[in-house]
Amino acid sequence: MKAVRIHQPGSVDNYVYEDAPEPVAGPGEVRLRVRAVALNHLEAWAAKAPPSVRYERPRILGADVAGTVESVGAGVTSVQPGTDVILHPGVSCGVCEACLGGDDNLCPQYRLLGQGRDGGMAELVVVPAANVFPKPANLSFEEAASIPLVFTTALHMILTRAHLRYGESVLVNAAGSGVGVAAIQVAKLHGARVIASAGSDGKLEKAAALGADEHINYTTSDLAEEARRLTDGRGVDMVVENVGAAIMEKSIQALARNGRVVTCGATAGNDATFNVTRFFLAQQTLYGSFMGTKAEMLRYAPCFADGRLRPVVDTVFPLAGAREAVARLLHREQFGKVVLVPA
């Protein structure tokens, strides 16, 4: 089969479109003919990671996949060949305490497609049958591939970790990112007043079209000051954050008393600092969040079928154009998801 494999981290030029062995579905697994794969920060990170980073090479990345079931392994009865599906990106052991308790993203063996095993930047991919979900019939493959990672992450952040309540104010940073696009919609669906922040007015206009009530351009305005101005000096109840060190302190300063920041990423730096005294005196909370559970994805599937939630596709590239697609992520040019499609 044709696949895009990365042989060494550190450069977008290390993504190579080439022949690779076809995977075979083993017991309990499903082989998928990939119709679309959406990119995430993992692909951008691999293109700029130092050579000291070690993982099995060459690796096929790509966690967000939509396609058609081509074959199933022994014992699989939950899905049949010919079915159009989307994949949950997180693979877990299925038998530990966390998995059996429904918290599969806390499994000690939890890995994303493209990390612990090959992902979907290829014509074929093999996954456990537990990761296969029906594709909403109203969505294209490109749209369907744009759902799993970012919407599952946003749902887990906003509802499961930070416990959004109806009528609260939510500041969504990096509103043009995949998680940002999803977070705006999830927060609005659950009755929040949403303030979107981004680095360009063009992205903020698109955020408004998704339902954001207010906006902040953090390259021309002070993020914390604007958030407080828009809330009559009170501050926001929640900040949905995936940028990291560059704006973490401003995000915390934007909070109301008893407010909380929930973070799932560090695209602009790992080592954040903030005023600890002010933080505990205001009784604020910082939540870490990683991915989400299969149950959360299943529970919200009807929202994509009826249009209450909708994926946003930024651009579509052929699989052979992976370098250009990853470069678009590196330059932060996208609003929504960058998608690859096999020829």
The verdict on residue 71 lying in a domain is: yes
Residue 125 shares a structural domain with residue 196: no
138: left (phi over 0), alpha (psi -120 to 50) or beta: alpha
The answer as to whether 28 is a domain residue is yes
Q: What's the pLDDT score for residue 52?
A: 64
Tokens of 100: 């059996």
Tell me, yes or no, whether 118 and 207 share the same domain: no
Domain shared by 191 and 72, yes or no: no
In this model, does residue 158 exceed pLDDT 70?
Answer: yes
Confidence band, pLDDT 50/70/90 cuts, at residue 38: very high
pLDDT of residue 268: 76
Structural domain span for residue 19: 2-147+311-341
Tokens 């450069």 sit on residue: 11
Alpha helix (H) residue ranges in the chain: 41-48, 97-100, 141-145, 148-155, 178-189, 201-209, 223-230, 248-253, 276-281, 294-305, 322-330
Verify that 52 and 128 share a domain, yes or no.
yes
Asked if 72 and 139 sit in the same domain, the reply is yes
pLDDT category of residue 48 using cuts at 50, 70 and 90: confident
| pLDDT, position 245 | 79
Task: Name the band, by pLDDT with cuts 50, 70 and 90, for residue 74.
Answer: very high
pLDDT at 42: 86
Into how many domains does the chain fold? 2
Residue-wise pLDDT tens digits, 160-215: 999 999 999 999 999 999 999 999 999 999 999 999 999 999 999 999 999 999 99
What is the predicted pLDDT for the residue at 41?
Answer: 86
Dmax over Cα atoms in the chain, in whole Å? 61
With left for phi above 0 and alpha for psi between -120 and 50, is residue 317 left, alpha or beta?
Answer: beta
SS3 108: coil
The domain that holds 244 is classified in CATH as 3.90.180.10
Give the model's confidence band at 57: pLDDT under 50 very low, under 70 low, under 90 confident, else very high: confident
What pLDDT does residue 51 have? 63
In a domain, 79, yes or no: yes
- Residue 103 included in any domain: yes
DSSP-assigned letters across all residues of 113-179: BTTTB--SSBSEEEEEGGGEEEPPTTS-HHHHHTSHHHHHHHHIIIIIIS---TT-EEEESSTTSHH
Instruction: Indicate whether 318 and 232 sit together in one domain.
Output: no
For residue 49, how far is the Cα from the chain centroid?
19
Mean pLDDT over 292-320 rounds to 96
What 8-state DSSP symbol labels residue 59?
Answer: B
86, 157: one domain: no
What token pair was written down for 307? 């249009």
116 against 310, higher pLDDT: 310
The verdict on 74 and 172 lying in the same domain is: no
Q: Are residues 125 and 75 in the same domain?
A: yes
For the stretch 314-342, pLDDT in tens is 999 999 999 999 999 988 889 999 999 99
Backbone φ and ψ for 147, nearest 5 degrees, come out as: -90, -55
Write the pLDDT tens digit of every residue in 107-144: 999 999 998 899 999 999 999 999 999 999 999 999 99
